[in-house]
Amino acid sequence: MGKRLPYTPNSKIRAILRQLWLRSRERAAALKKTKYCCKECGIKQSVAKGKEVYLEVHHDPPIDWGTLIADIRKALLDVPQYPLCKKCHKEKHETNKKTLFKHNS
């Protein structure tokens, strides 16, 4: 078996984000809004054998994957982590919310 990296590779983060996007309600709504037709040329999505046309949903402005992945890593993965039971975890979040609220007031 291959040696595992000590961290989650950026390629895995990007793949997970892509799957989230492909299954999102927002993407489905964008396709439905145009009746599954290209906004530029009007061609309709098709899965008919030999006549396949697949639509992609464009982001405007385009996504900067490097920055997005760096932000996720900074906010979620590269922070101190330690296990807590469910009760202590909830209490920790409540304490953090109170502290955050005091600083923002």
* Per-position pLDDT tens, the chain of length 105: 567 768 899 999 999 999 999 999 999 999 999 999 999 999 999 999 999 999 999 988 888 999 999 999 999 998 888 999 999 999 998 988 777 666 565
Strand partners, 53: 46
Sequence-distant (6+) residues with CB within 8 A of 37 are: 43, 44, 45, 55
Task: Please say whether the beta carbons of 9 and 17 come within 8 A.
Answer: no
C-alpha closest to that of 10 among 63, 64, 65: 65
| DSSP bridge partners of 44 | 37
Unique residue bearing structure tokens 């999505």: 45
